[in-house]
A and B are shown apart, each in its own frame.
Chain A
Amino acid sequence: MSKEIHASEDRLHTRALIPLLILTIVEYEVFTFSKATVAAAKQDAWLSILIGAIIGSFFVYLFIKLAARFPNKSYFQYLPIVWGKPLGFLISNLYLLFWLALLSSIFYETLLANKMLFLPQTPTIIPLILFALSLIWLVSYGLVPMIRFFQLLLPFLAIPLLLLALLFTTTIKIDRFLPVLESGLLPVIKGSYYSLGAFQGPEVLLFAAPFFLRIKDGVKSSLLAYNVTAFFGWSNTVAAIGILGVQNINESVLPGIDVVNLVEFPGFPVERFGLLLTLPWLIGIYATLAIYLYLLCSSTFYLFNLRPRNWITFFITAIPVTIAYFLPNEAWHELLRLYLTFVTVPIVYILPVMTLLLAVIRKKGRST
């Protein structure tokens, strides 16, 4: 899967950035919306997420600028140009490790959700393998069909989540948010760091940039996508604090599902609306797994100069599946997630911005 694109092949319209980004970023945080944020900022977590979204949008804007400097190249192709070959190779491998850890974590979350919600008694390897096989099938087609797939799935994700956001407004109790800014501004800033750490995904547009018509014009679409995702996370957090209460969030394992089961709709006094959350969650997880698997496989082929072979794809997929399967228990996974949240801001957000700065300083790439 070569990254150089011939001019005769069709390129995607920049509007296709919207489903790509939304579906990549939305995954587990629909369920947990980074418990770390709520643990750090307590009832002001909604403020942290807002601040995080603003900072994140700024970063996304810088990403587009970076992608516009190297129009037909993907991120790993111009990393060596900007940083120099050995450092570029090192950074690319850092990304590979990051993706591997992220994939293991998401596979583990699938396992956990199956064990608790969907299929408690089925051996957990079976859903994992089925997901992995269908993902390999999707990945083998390349990025453009994957983006088409995302476009198909986007309404099924967005509509239930928007419906939920509407339903939440009826059940939220405002007094659970008071007092505002109880412990000052510092916990809110810490919460923003964690909430940014839950939004892994914008770096995908650096890799998908060669497939788009004119990535410079993609600012509006990518900002829209990022903020829509931030809105989903924000509404879920607000609902959780307003309905569940901060202490219960800290004690609960899947606060998102607990919140949704507590929503009250007129005429349905004690019903649970968990269905409105589980289906979008499955879609988000599947899409995120697909895109990261694609990035992992294609980058491995590119970095180590391998010929794309099927057994290598199988092997690469098997690694995170094995790690997820053999992770001892939920406590280890929480630890892994905490490390990932910590590490996301430097790797996903700051590294490309440093690349951009270096490129500007060293005058590499096309300046616009």
Chain B
Amino acid sequence: MRSKLALFLILPLLLLTPGCWDLQDVNDTAFVLGIGIDSPSNSDTAKYKVTFEFAKPLSTRENPKAQSLAASMEADSILQAIQRMQASISRRISLSHLRLVAIGEDVARTENFQYLTNYIMREPDMALRLRLVFVQNAEARQFFYTNPRFENRVAAEMVAMGMLQKELDLNRTNNFLDFIIDLNRTKGVALGSRVSIQKGENVVVRDGAAIFKDWKLVAWLSADEAQASNWLLEKTLAVVVAKEKENTYTYRVRKKDTKFKPVLDDGKPSFVVAVSTEGMVMEEAGKDIDFSKPENLKKMEELFNQAISQQVKSAIDKSQKELKADYLGFDKAFQKYHSEAFEFLNWSEIYPTIPIQVQVDCKIKAYGLHK
């Protein structure tokens, strides 16, 4: 009987000894939804300037605009910035719901990307399903002060914009983890997302792409150039505008399929890129063409073939000749088919000189409700 009693007394006591070290009420926590990294104003005292976007919970009576709070801090490392930020925030900072990482242009051009984001990879609290954007011509700090149009907070807006991946071909969507995997595979070459702040209005535009080479940012792709690259990279919806004399025709691509065919003849690789698309003609401005005749459709298809192959060629030229960095995935395709030969090639050296042929096959399936 006594032993039972002893057991009964010890167990609850054991339970009470913790004293709830870990009890952290959820309203006493400041959740960081987005992080922006910039170059510091004075590079002698600090390495980075880190901007935090906090989620500010509202009681019903307060101003609905005050949903998030942005603040910046300069420090030598991200963790140190968090510590210094904590000194002016009354709730414990938690990065467990981080959703967005925005990196400013100046720090992306100068710092190795791996060092920038090392903390994010190590922290056990964080999930790696983050959106990654690079801010052009502005500081990441300014990015967090823009007015989101639909959502309450900038981070939520970026997350939602990232969901539009299938519908928009004017931008490049590459999540944080995929970006890092690309960088690791090609030793420093990858294509990331770009945002810029629209001049005049305090609104964010997400289009184009950011090109990384040697782990640092080197160039930007505009919206049209990103659309051209997306023929090779993504399976998004695309809109092609083709001009013939004064007539403009618009073609909506529903399905596109790109195949890389690597050809290896005695140690020299070359590629044939076959793009096949399927879609509808949705707009015509100019001469009225009767689409119910198959030969007219054939002419349209030829027109769009030319327009698309021009776009693809310009994208390949930009990657090969101008930037000399393979961010379009040619190395992956080559490795898939000729992995032994790939071991011996120095891809970054020979890439600018590889002959690449483009073949485009357009199909027009329908033309809307109007003949």
* Residue ranges of A at the interface with B (Cβ–Cβ < 8 Å): 116-117, 119-123, 126, 129-130, 133, 175-176, 178-179, 182, 244-245, 247-248, 251, 253-254, 258, 261-262, 264, 269-272, 274
- Near A by CB (< 8 A), chain B positions 106-120 give none
Chain B interface category by residue count:
20 to 34
The answer, among A121, A129, A176, A272, for a CB contact under 8 Å with B127, is: A272
Q: A175-B332, A244-B177, A247-B181 are in contact. Are A182 and B127 (CB under 8 A)?
A: no
A270: chain B residues at CB < 8 Å are 99, 127, 129-131, 159
* Complex CA–CA separation, A264 to B159 (angstroms): 13
* Complex CA–CA separation, A121 to B17 (angstroms): 13
The answer, among B14, B129, B336, for a CB contact under 8 Å with A261, is: B129
Q: Are B22 and A264 in contact (CB under 8 A)?
A: no
Q: Are A129 and B181 in contact (CB under 8 A)?
A: no
* Complex CA–CA separation, A116 to B14 (angstroms): 22
A121: chain B residues at CB < 8 Å are 21-22
Q: A119-B21, A270-B129, A274-B127 are in contact. Are A248 and B14 (CB under 8 A)?
A: no
* Complex CA–CA separation, A244 to B128 (angstroms): 10
Q: Are A119 and B339 in contact (CB under 8 A)?
A: no
- Chain A CB within 10 A, most for which of B18, B129, B181, B184: B129
Which B-chain residue is minimally distant from A272 (CB atoms)?
Answer: B127
Which A-chain residue is minimally distant from B335 (CB atoms)?
Answer: A179
- Near A by CB (< 8 A), chain B positions 86-132 give 99, 121, 124, 127-131
Q: Are A264 and B127 in contact (CB under 8 A)?
A: no
B14: chain A residues at CB < 8 Å are 126, 129-130, 133
* Complex CA–CA separation, A253 to B339 (angstroms): 29
* Complex CA–CA separation, A126 to B180 (angstroms): 38
Q: Are A272 and B129 in contact (CB under 8 A)?
A: yes
Q: Does B163 contact A (CB under 8 A)?
A: yes
Which A-chain residue is minimally distant from B184 (CB atoms)?
Answer: A247
Q: Does B160 contact A (CB under 8 A)?
A: yes
* Complex CA–CA separation, A302 to B169 (angstroms): 71
* Complex CA–CA separation, A296 to B226 (angstroms): 63
Q: Are A261 and B128 in contact (CB under 8 A)?
A: yes
Please encode chain B, from 154 to 185, with 1 for each CB lying within 8 Å of some chain A CB and 0 for all others: 00000110110000000000000100110011
Q: Are B21 and A262 in contact (CB under 8 A)?
A: no
A122: chain B residues at CB < 8 Å are 18, 21-22
Q: A179-B339, A269-B160, A270-B159 are in contact. Are A264 and B124 (CB under 8 A)?
A: no
Distance (whole angstroms) from the CB of A175 to the closest CB of chain B = 7
Q: Are B11 and A261 in contact (CB under 8 A)?
A: no
Inter-chain residue pair count (beta carbon < 8 A): 66
B177: chain A residues at CB < 8 Å are 244-245, 248, 262
Q: A126-B14, A126-B17, A179-B336 are in contact. Are A269 and B162 (CB under 8 A)?
A: yes
Distance (whole angstroms) from the CB of B57 to the closest CB of chain A = 19
Q: Are B11 and A133 in contact (CB under 8 A)?
A: yes
Q: A122-B22, A175-B332 are in contact. Are A248 and B130 (CB under 8 A)?
A: no
Which A-chain residue is minimally distant from B177 (CB atoms)?
Answer: A262
A130: chain B residues at CB < 8 Å are 14-15
Q: A179-B336, A269-B159 are in contact. Are A262 and B129 (CB under 8 A)?
A: yes
* Complex CA–CA separation, A121 to B11 (angstroms): 21
Q: Are A120 and B99 in contact (CB under 8 A)?
A: no
Which A-chain residue is minimally distant from B19 (CB atoms)?
Answer: A122
Distance (whole angstroms) from the CB of B103 to the closest CB of chain A = 18
Please encode chain B, from 325 to 343, with 1 for each CB lying within 8 Å of some chain A CB and 0 for all others: 0000000100110010000
Distance (whole angstroms) from the CB of A264 to the closest CB of chain B = 7
A175: chain B residues at CB < 8 Å are 332, 336
Other A-B contacts than A245-B181, A270-B129, A274-B127, 12 sampled, CB-CB below 8 A, are A117-B124, A122-B18, A123-B21, A126-B18, A130-B15, A179-B335, A244-B177, A245-B177, A247-B184, A248-B177, A269-B163, A272-B127
Distance (whole angstroms) from the CB of A260 to the closest CB of chain B = 9
Distance (whole angstroms) from the CB of B259 to the closest CB of chain A = 13
* Complex CA–CA separation, A117 to B125 (angstroms): 7
A269: chain B residues at CB < 8 Å are 159-160, 162-163
B185: chain A residues at CB < 8 Å are 247
User: Can you identify 23 A-B contacts, CB atoms within 8 angstroms?
Assistant: A117-B124, A119-B21, A120-B22, A122-B22, A123-B21, A126-B17, A129-B14, A130-B14, A175-B332, A175-B336, A179-B336, A182-B339, A244-B177, A251-B121, A253-B124, A261-B127, A262-B127, A269-B160, A269-B162, A270-B129, A270-B130, A270-B159, A274-B127
Q: Are A262 and B128 in contact (CB under 8 A)?
A: yes
The answer, among A129, A178, A253, A254, for a CB contact under 8 Å with B336, is: A178
* Complex CA–CA separation, A156 to B285 (angstroms): 62
Q: Are B128 and A258 in contact (CB under 8 A)?
A: yes
B11: chain A residues at CB < 8 Å are 133
- Near A by CB (< 8 A), chain B positions 252-286 give none
- Chain A CB within 10 A, most for which of B18, B131, B185: B18
Distance (whole angstroms) from the CB of A197 to the closest CB of chain B = 26
* Complex CA–CA separation, A182 to B163 (angstroms): 34
* Complex CA–CA separation, A17 to B162 (angstroms): 48
* Complex CA–CA separation, A242 to B155 (angstroms): 27
B21: chain A residues at CB < 8 Å are 119, 121-123
- Near A by CB (< 8 A), chain B positions 265-315 give none
* Complex CA–CA separation, A251 to B15 (angstroms): 37
B18: chain A residues at CB < 8 Å are 122-123, 126
* Complex CA–CA separation, A252 to B128 (angstroms): 12
A123: chain B residues at CB < 8 Å are 18, 21
Complex A-B, nearest 6 residue pairs according to Cβ-Cβ distance, in ascending order:
A261-B127, A272-B127, A121-B21, A116-B124, A245-B181, A179-B339
B131: chain A residues at CB < 8 Å are 270
Which A-chain residue is minimally distant from B160 (CB atoms)?
Answer: A269
Which B-chain residue is minimally distant from A252 (CB atoms)?
Answer: B121
- Chain A CB within 10 A, most for which of B128, B159, B180: B128
* Complex CA–CA separation, A264 to B175 (angstroms): 12
A261: chain B residues at CB < 8 Å are 127-129
Which A-chain residue is minimally distant from B98 (CB atoms)?
Answer: A270
* Complex CA–CA separation, A73 to B159 (angstroms): 62
A182: chain B residues at CB < 8 Å are 339
Distance (whole angstroms) from the CB of A128 to the closest CB of chain B = 12
Q: Are B339 and A264 in contact (CB under 8 A)?
A: no
B129: chain A residues at CB < 8 Å are 261-262, 264, 270-272
* Complex CA–CA separation, A89 to B92 (angstroms): 57
